[in-house]
Structure 1
Amino acid sequence: MKGLTPEQRKRIVDKYVREKGISMRMIAKIEKVSRSAVFNAIKKYGQDLSFKDKPKSGRKIGSHNRNLDSKICRKIKTSPNASIRDVAKKCKTTVGMVQRAKKRNNLRTYRKQRKPKRSQKQAASVKTRLRKLYDTVLTKNEQCIIQDDETYVKLDYSVLPGPQYFTVRKGEQLDEGKTSIYAEKFGSKAMVWQAICECGMKSTAYITTSTMTTDVYIKECLKKRILPLIRRHRGSTLFWPDLASCHYASRTREWMEANGVEYVEKSMNPPNYPEVRPIEEYWAIMKRILRQRFSSADSVKKFKKDWVKAAKTVTVSVVRNLMKNVRVQVRKIARNQK
C-alpha cells in the first residue's frame, strides 16, 4: 500500500462498499492506481478498520548534538582531503554520525579538477585573445574548426593514465606482478600528431620517435594530412593549430597562406588553455583504449598498427561530440575570465 494516502484509501473503500458490483479493476482505473493497491486498501480496512498506516519500525529521529555537528563541519572544512573514517576518529564519533552531520548541514564533497598552471603573462593574454578569436573568427558558424596537436605515448600501455584494479578472494595471495604496475623511468615512447574537426572527421596520424621540426611539420602534417582533410570538406574550414613554435614559424605560415589554408592567427590563439582544445580529450580516449584493449608494443611499428586500430574505434559521433561546444566554451570563458 506504499504510496496511497489515507484519503485515497477512504475513497477506494467507499466506492467498493456503496457501488454494488463495481470491480477492483474499475476502481483502480478510476483512482489511477494498481489493482493490487485497491485490494490491499480494502484488506487493510477489513483488518484494522482504519485508513492510516501503522507506526513504522526503525530508528526514531531524535535531537542531535549541535556542538558535535559544528566540530565535524569544522574538521571537514579544514581537512577536505580527510576520509569520513578519519574525521569520525578525530571527532571521537561514528562514521554514520559524520555522514548525517554532512547531510544536515548540506555539505558535499567534490573531486578537485586538474588545470594547467599559467604564468602571469599567459593569464593576462587569455581574455584578450579569446574575445578577439570569438568576435573575429568563430562567429562564422559555417566554418568547420580543425584542431591539431602532438602527444607522447609510452610503448608500455600498462603505465598509461587511468585506474587499474585486481580482484582477489579473501585470504588469497597473488603474485606481485598482478597487484603492481612497473613503470620504467625512461621507457620507450613515441610522438603522435593528429587532427580532428567539428564534422567528426580525423586526419591520419603521424607517428615518430624524433622531435617535430618546421620542415617535418610542413611535409608530414600539413601537406600530407591537413590539406587532404580540408579537401574532404564541402564548405570552408578554419585550422586552429597548437602554439608549438614550428606551427607558427614563418615558413609554416607562408605555406598555409600559399595553399589557401585559413588558420587562427597566433595573436588570437590562447596559450596553455586546454579547456578550449577538445583534442586533449581525444588523447585521453585514445590512451585509455590502448591500455584496455591492446598488449604493450615492443616496437614503433607495432605501436603504429595499434594506434590505427584504436583510432577506428573512435567514431565520427564521438569526435563530433568532443568538438561541438568549442565556440560556446570560448565565448563563455572570454566573458567570465578575470
Structure 2
Amino acid sequence: MGCRLPTFSSLPAQKNFDLCRFLGIWYEIKFFKTEDVPDVWSDFVQSFDLQDHNKRRLIAYGQARSTTVKNCFPFGPMSLDASNGARMILITEDLKNGPIVDWPFLIIQTDYDNYALAYFCTSKNYKQNKPCEERQLKIYGRKTTLADKYLKPLIKYVNDHLCVSPGQLRTTVHSEKSCPIQRLKHFVQEGFKRSTIYNIIKRYENGLPIEDHPRSGRPPYFDRKNLKRLQHTAANRIGVTQRKLARKFGVTQPTIYYNLKKIGLKYYKRQKAPKYTKKQLQQIPKKCGNIRRRLTTKHTFIIVDDEKYFTFSNDDMPQNTGFYSFDKEHVPDNVKYKTKEKYPKKVLVWLSLSAKGISAPFIGTTKGPAINANIYIKECLSKLLAFIETYHFHDDYVFWPDLATSHYANEITQWLLQHQIKFIPKQVNPPKVSKARPIEDFWSILANKVSRHFVQTLFYHPLSGGKSIHDHETNPDLIDAKCLRQQMKERVINELTPISVIYEEEMAKTPLSDSATGTFPTNQELYQTFAKLRQKHLLALPQSSLFTIPDPFKLTADGKRFLL
C-alpha cells in the first residue's frame, strides 16, 4: 500500500514544545522541496531568536553559500508566529522586503540539543485540512553533522509519514569554515552587552546551562539603591570628582570609576561659550533672521574680519604653567615666576576672510588696551578693499564686522560708505555669535601654532619687519646638542653604518656637559626617526633582474650541461 500525503491538521507536532530551548543556531543537514532547485546552497545555517522580546514571535536570520558565489550571503530574516507552540505560522520569508505568506510551519520532532524536523507548506491559499502540493521539510542539527542514531529514525519517519523517500532528500554540504551567523548584531540591537552574549554562547558551546544561577560570595556594596544615589549625585552636576564621591560613599576611587561606567555616566569637558544676558538672547535670533532674510541671499558672500593679540610670554598656555627642577629655590626668576603687566607688549594680527580666500594680514606691534580707528582705517581697511577688488569685484557680498567700538566709529562707517562697501549696520549686527563666524576657529588654530614656536623669546620686531632682539643669553648646551644631532643625521644619510654604532661614536667624540647629556635623546628615542630618514634616502633594491650566462659556464668540467 503506497504512502498517502498527510494534511497539516492531522500531523502531530512536538509535544510540550519549549520555545526557549528551541532558540539558537540550527544547521541544515538534509532538505526536501517539491519544486526544482537549480542552485543548491551550502553551509546553510539559521539562528532562531525572539522578536522584540515577544515569546509569541520568532525571527530567523540566515547565512549560506551559493554554487556561483564563494562568499557567504545573508537571507531573511524570516518571521514566525509561535503563539500555538510547535504549530507555527511563517508570516514572511523576508521581514524587511518580503510579502506576507502565512504558511503553516510545524516542528514535528526535536530534542532541542541535537536535531529538529521542520515541515511547512508553500502553496498559495492552502487549507490545512487538505494535502499540500508545494511542501518543504528540513532536518536541522545543532552542529554541521548529525549522528546516525538521530538521523536514521528521522529519515524513516519522513519516508513513512511524510511520503518523502530517502532518495528524494538532498544533503546540505558544510565546509570546514562555516558561515558566521549575525547573531551578535541582533542581540546588540536589542540592548544586550557584547560580553553577556559572548559568555552565554561560550557556556552553551561548553555544554553548561545558559541560566545564571545565584552565586555565592559577598554581595556587592553598590546595590540598586546606591547606584541610584550615585547617579543622582553625579549626573549633570559641576564640581563632582571621583575622589569626592569615593569619600562620600566610603569606597575607593576605582570602585566609583567602575560603577559610573556600569550605569553609563561619562565625563565630558565643559565647552567655552560666551555669557549672554537676557536681552542678548532675545536679540540674537531676531538679528540673525534679519541678516538672513534682508541682507543676504543664497548667492551672497559674507566677508568677516577680526584681530587677535599675541603676547610673547605665553604664560597662560598649558605647557608653560609649570617646570621641572631638582630644587625649587635654585631656579632662575624668569622660570620660577610668572610675571604680569597691565598692558604687555604684544603683536596685533588682523585679517579678513570669506569663502573665496584670506586677505593679506596686517601684523604690527602695539602697547595699550586695543586697536583704534586710525590704525583700523590706515592698516586694515585698505587691505580689506584690496581683498574685495581681488576676489569679489563682480560678486554680491556683505561685510560683517564684529561689534568692537573701533569697527563702528564715525570715521569707519564714513570710509566704508565712501568706498561703496556694503556692510551690516550696528543696529542689525547680533552680539556674540562666534559659531556663525568661522574666523574664530581660525584664531584658535593660529594661537596654538604661535605658542608652539614662540614660548619664551621676546622678539616682537621680526613680526613687524625689524631685527630680532633677545633678552636672554645664548645657551651653549642647546647649540652643542643641535650640532651633535645634525652630525648624526648626516652620517645616517651618507653611510650604511648601523645607527646604534653612529650614535655611540658621535657621543664619544662630542664633549657634552652633564646637563646636555642628561637631556639629549637616547639611542632608542632617536632610532625610529633616523631609520625613517635613512629609508627615504636609500634607493630601493630591485626585486628581480635578468642577465645572460655564457654557454661555457653552463657546463660542468666533464662537459655535462647543468644549467637550463
TM-score, length-scaled by structure 2 = 0.41
The match for 1:218 is 377
Partner secondary structure for residue 207 of structure 1: strand
Could you list the per-position Cα deviations for residues 39-92 of structure 1 after superposition, in whole angstroms to 9, with x for gaps in the alignment?
A: xxxxxxxxxxx8557689xxx798751232233223324964222132122101
Alignment of 1:1-338 (within 5 A): 6-7=25-26, 13-14=144-145, 24=176, 27=178, 51=205, 65-77=223-235, 80-138=238-296, 140-157=297-314, 159-162=315-318, 182-186=337-341, 187-210=344-367, 211-223=370-382, 225-234=383-392, 235-304=395-464
What is the Cα deviation at residue 113 of structure 1? 2.3
Tell me the amino acid that sits aligned with residue 260 of structure 1: Q
Tell me the amino acid that sits aligned with residue 243 of structure 1: L
Partner secondary structure for residue 358 of structure 2: coil
- Whole-angstrom distance in 2 between the partners of 1:11 and 1:165: 65
- Whole-angstrom distance in 2 between the partners of 1:249 and 1:65: 65
What is the Cα deviation at residue 289 of structure 1? 0.4
Q: Is the 8 A contact 2:312 2:455 kept in 1?
A: no
TM-score, length-scaled by structure 1 = 0.65
Partner secondary structure for residue 185 of structure 1: coil
Higher helix share: 1
- Whole-angstrom distance in 2 between the partners of 1:24 and 1:263: 73
- Whole-angstrom distance in 2 between the partners of 1:295 and 1:103: 39
The match for 2:99 is none
- Whole-angstrom distance in 1 between the partners of 2:337 and 2:287: 43
Higher strand share: 2
Q: 1:94/1:76 Cα in 2 relative to 1: closer, same or farther (>3 Å)?
A: same
Q: Is the 8 A contact 1:149 1:279 kept in 2?
A: yes
What is the Cα deviation at residue 278 of structure 1? 2.4
Q: Is the 8 A contact 1:155 1:303 kept in 2?
A: no
Q: Is the 8 A contact 1:206 1:221 kept in 2?
A: no
What is the Cα deviation at residue 175 of structure 1? 6.7
Q: Is the 8 A contact 2:347 2:363 kept in 1?
A: no
What is the Cα deviation at residue 243 of structure 1? 1.3
Q: Is the 8 A contact 1:116 1:272 kept in 2?
A: yes
The match for 1:329 is none
- Whole-angstrom distance in 2 between the partners of 1:207 and 1:274: 25
Tell me the amino acid that sits aligned with residue 240 of structure 1: W
Could you say which structure has the greater relative contact order, defined with CA pairs below 8 angstroms and 6 or more residues apart? 1
Tell me the amino acid that sits aligned with residue 266 of structure 2: R
Q: 1:79/1:254 Cα in 2 relative to 1: closer, same or farther (>3 Å)?
A: closer
Partner secondary structure for residue 156 of structure 1: coil
Q: Is the 8 A contact 2:349 2:361 kept in 1?
A: no
Tell me the amino acid that sits aligned with residue 458 of structure 2: D
- Aligned Cα RMSD in Å? 4.2
Task: State the identity %.
Answer: 22
- Whole-angstrom distance in 1 between the partners of 2:236 and 2:385: 55
Tell me the amino acid that sits aligned with residue 24 of structure 1: E
Partner secondary structure for residue 90 of structure 1: helix
What is the Cα deviation at residue 221 of structure 1? 0.7
**Please, which runs of 5 or more residues in structure 1 have no aligned partner?**
33-49, 306-338
Please, which moves more after superposition, 243-252 or 120-129? 120-129
Alignment length (residue pairs)? 275
Tell me the amino acid that sits aligned with residue 242 of structure 1: D
- Whole-angstrom distance in 2 between the partners of 1:302 and 1:296: 15
- Whole-angstrom distance in 1 between the partners of 2:376 and 2:173: 86
Could you list the per-position Cα deviations for residues 194-232 of structure 1 after superposition, in whole angstroms to 9, with x for gaps in the alignment?
A: 222223424323323154222221121111x10111122
Q: 1:164/1:212 Cα in 2 relative to 1: closer, same or farther (>3 Å)?
A: closer
